[in-house]
Amino acid sequence: MKILKIQALRGPNLWSIQRKRLIQMRLDLEEAEQTPTNKIEGFRERIEAMFPSMIEHRCSEGCRGGFFLRVERGTWMGHVIEHIALEIQTLAGMDTGFGRTRETKTPGIYNVVFSYTEENVGLFAAESAVRIAEALMEGTDYDVEADIQKMREIRERVRLGPSTGSIVEEAVSRDIPWIRLGTNSLVQLGYGINQMRFQATITCKTSSIAVDIACDKEQTKRMLDLASIPVASGDICVDEEDLEDTIKKIGYPIVLKPLDGNHGKGASINVTNWEDAVEGLEHAKKYSRRVIVEKYITGFDFRILVINNKLVAAAKRVPAHVVGNGKNTIQELIDETNLDPRRGYGHENVLTEITVDRDTEDLLEKLNFTLETIPQKEEIVYLKSTANLSTGGTSVDVTDMLHPENIFIAERISRVIGLDICGVDIMAENLTQPLKENGGVVLEVNAAPGFRMHLAPSEGLPRNVAAPVVDMLYPPGKESRIPIIAITGTNGKTTTTRLMAHIVKNNKYRVGFTTSDGIYIQNHMLEKGDTTGPLSAEYILKDPTVEFAVLETARGGILRSGLGFNRCDIAIITNICADHLGLNDIDTLDDLARVKSVVVKSVKKDGWAILNAEDAQCIKIANELSCNVAYFAMDEDDPFVKKLSKEGKIVAVYENGFITIKKGDWKIRIEKVLHIPLTLGGKAKFMIQNVLAASLAAYLYGFKTDDISLSLQTFIPSVAQTPGRMNIFEFKKFKVMIDFAHNPAGYTAIEDLLSNMEASKKIGIIAGVGDRRDEDIKECATIAARMFDHIIIRQEKHLRGRTEEEIINLILEGIAESGRTVTYEIIPKEIEAIKHAINTAEEGTFITALSDVVTNAIEIVQEYLDKENEENLI
């Protein structure tokens, strides 16, 4: 078997709107296509022995053990690989259960699709599942456990930490969107101007000066002491002389810890002699030049969590330890403790496995123990000097046991230091008595406290400490999203997007929009190129200045990785025509319609899908939608439009020369087409369709009709407003138009426009695109032959696997099939073709350059026009 391609889908996609995170693997079964599972001797027994837990896979049988039944009766290897990929993720601690396997139109080649929780793990699972399937087919051994462990390691390397993950989960539960910014724990909640950012438990509301104070343990201690908050006595040391002076003042036992340390790194506790003190000083100095030396306070280690100046949780932390039974060694007791199903690798479970390190060895040495020592029955042997969960410690929830005085102290500390999320570490016998009574002290204040001990304590009630964080970032009434209008279709997407953005801008919103020629915020192009995919959409949604997003959404990005947003307010499908067919398993108009429908299926339930009422594919899509649906049409008397009007549906129509919104028998006229420059006085019918779609979207969003009308009148087709879309350059004796038309429907629209244009001679500059079907290339040429008197064929770009000669021959065949006698010439380079057309143009000629690289064409023509204008001035 051969893996042809693996891709990760991250947003609503062709396979599922709800399940956004999917791996899609294109797999060639090769010889395995001829051997379903029931023809491979012993396959059922081998897969059941390797994965007994697959008994829970119900599959299409709908019952426990359903998948094994399918294997026994005979199923294809792609289907088996889908189930293996899901199962090994589950065994690695990432339970996920959606999968689909479908054969493509090429026999033996399948799309294997399955869900994932961590993208990198999902990609690894795809390759691993193929290797495992091959081993099962051949009856050879395979170390599945090694792959599962590798997946755990990948997950720990790339996953969000437990604190970050809990905040994201809480946000998702409230329908707040999120975007991971990079590969660490920096996360954006919400979109555009309504976004909030956080990293671990530091938020965009966290004071940077408060973090600096908390990270400076000496400063923190001084401020707390001045605020009459009990702290441990001690000082800062940089050498042995300082250490000696401090010990003389406070006496033994002592604690040494790095001034700038965290997570207990470099700390030594309960030090009782000079030799150990010197060694502890050197250990701490590995992490910080300056070292805190404090009196060791006996008692328990408590962590109090304060969010937005309110106490939300408290936990007693217990360092990693084992309890002797008089029989087993310390190492055996560690191994037994790690068998606890609550313990796992890294952060995968409630508790972390206990590992042996220098800290462990030092503590054992102080007791004259080794890992081979057998502790007495009930003897507690501590293995870490700090109680961090990340080193195997445990936690007990004590939130409901706090004395009111201690709650007051903790909340006051958060204000003294100035932290919005504050972890207060306390050493005391208990928290049921005021600290001043039981001798407890505040050890330190943490600016980025971990949440895991509160989310999933070893004992006591779990506390949803992520909720108050989200409450703080998004108090009641604060929006997390911005309006999104998504636009797709075969032709007209870019112009409709630009017009829609113009309307939004005129309504005083700061708009961000993506098009096939670049990413824009207001009038500024920030990125140049075809930016109609999910990364470009995310670019807009990540920008903190954007108040409204208008996103052109092309098929390529949807197929490659899904949508760049999980939901939109309004979506438009301009039309669905033959284009890009024969690529990426999209072979028919029905296939193409399924891709385009992803956009309108992502509309929120009370939002609007806007569809072309004169497009059969759009009409079919309407039946699959759960949101509101409105339509636009050129012909008010179309039978389907009449039916919609009778049903009281909202339809935008072109009637009596007006752009009109109809609801039942009611009509709202927006503007006369003659007053809308984009339509060239009504000559450009395809532009009227774009205007209808954009006007309807604006109306449904809630913009006033007067404002829509003004926007339509002020949107001028030009290089600045609509580059490559009907850009007409008027020379003294002739005209040149540049347009991006590149498929039969686009060519037909240009043909209709030119039929309304007066010219003594119409010259067309055309090319073919190599990855289009033969019939599409020929049909474009046939249409060109109908609308032009002379054709210049150029072909230097977008060969895409074909030769220049092959494409030109197809164009010539298409010209011949038109039945018209048309003159033509071949000038391969576009620049030379345009220059030749301009240099030889006669008076009254109308030159149309149908260019796939509009920027180059525009620059050439503009250069000639500027030169002519300069000559006229002389």
Ranking 44-48, 356-360, 641-645 by mean pLDDT, the lowest is 356-360
398, burial (CB in 10 Å: exposed 0-12, middle 13-18, buried 19+): buried
pLDDT grade for 796, boundaries at 50, 70 and 90 = low
N- to C-terminal Cα separation, the chain: 73
pLDDT grade for 768, boundaries at 50, 70 and 90 = confident
Q: Which pLDDT belongs to residue 712?
A: 97
Q: Which pLDDT belongs to residue 742?
A: 80
Q: Please report, for residues 89, 368, 709, 814, the alpha-carbon distance to residue 376 in angstroms, rounded to integers and kept in the order given.
A: 41, 14, 88, 93
Segment (H or E) for 521? strand 518-521
Ranking 30-34, 430-434, 599-603 by mean pLDDT, the lowest is 30-34
DSSP state of 358: H
Residue 803 identity? T
Q: Please report, for residues 59, 67, 855, the alpha-carbon distance to residue 86 in angstroms, rounded to integers and kept in the order given.
A: 12, 12, 47
Whether residue 506 contacts residue 707, with contact meaning beta carbons closer than 8 Å, is answered with: yes
Q: Which two tokens stand for residue 58?
A: 């119900």
| DSSP assignments along 112-136, one per residue | EEEE-SSHHHHHHHHHHHHHHHHHH
Helices (H) and strands (E) in the chain, counts: 29, 38
Q: Give 474-495 pLDDT, tens digit per residue.
A: 999 999 999 999 999 988 899 9
Q: Give 255-264 pLDDT, tens digit per residue.
A: 998 987 666 6
**Of residues 388 and 762, more confidently modeled:** 762
Chain Cα centroid distance, residue 26: 22
Give the percent of the chain with pLDDT over 70: 98
Q: Give 280-333 pLDDT, tens digit per residue.
A: 999 999 998 889 898 888 889 999 999 999 999 999 998 899 999 999 999 999
Q: Which pLDDT belongs to residue 797?
A: 63
Beta bridge partners of 221: none
Residues 6+ apart with CB under 8 A from 148: 88, 91, 92
Which range has highest mean pLDDT (96-100, 167-171, 762-766)? 167-171
Q: Give 611-634 pLDDT, tens digit per residue.
A: 999 999 999 999 999 999 999 999
pLDDT grade for 874, boundaries at 50, 70 and 90 = low
Q: Which pLDDT belongs to residue 346?
A: 66
Beta strands in 254-384 (DSSP E): 254-258, 268-271, 291-295, 300-307, 310-318, 321-323, 343-344, 351-352, 380-382
Q: Which pLDDT belongs to residue 187?
A: 97
Q: Give 188-202 pLDDT, tens digit per residue.
A: 999 999 999 999 999
Q: Which of 537, 547, 508, 505 is nearest to 523 (CA)?
A: 505
Q: Rounded to an integer, what distance in angstroms lies between the CA atom of residue 93 and that of residue 159? A: 12
**Of residues 353 and 851, more confidently modeled:** 353
Residues 6+ apart with CB under 8 A from 706: none
Q: Which pLDDT belongs to residue 798?
A: 60
Segment (H or E) for 606? strand 603-612
Chain Cα centroid distance, residue 252: 55
Give the percent of the chain with pLDDT over 90: 70
- Mapping DSSP to helix (H, G, I), strand (E, B) and coil, where does residue 660 land? strand
Q: What is the mean pLDDT of the chain?
A: 92
Sheet strands side by side (includes 268-271): 234-237, 291-295, 254-258, 268-271
**Cα torsion angle, 10, 13, 14, 18, sign:** positive
Length of the chain: 874
Ranking 222-236, 246-260, 712-726 by mean pLDDT, the lowest is 712-726
Q: Give 538-565 pLDDT, tens digit per residue.
A: 999 999 999 999 999 998 899 999 999 9
SS3 content of the chain, % helix, strand, coil (to 5): 40, 25, 35
Q: Rounded to an integer, what distance in angstroms lies between the CA atom of residue 794 and that of residue 798? A: 11
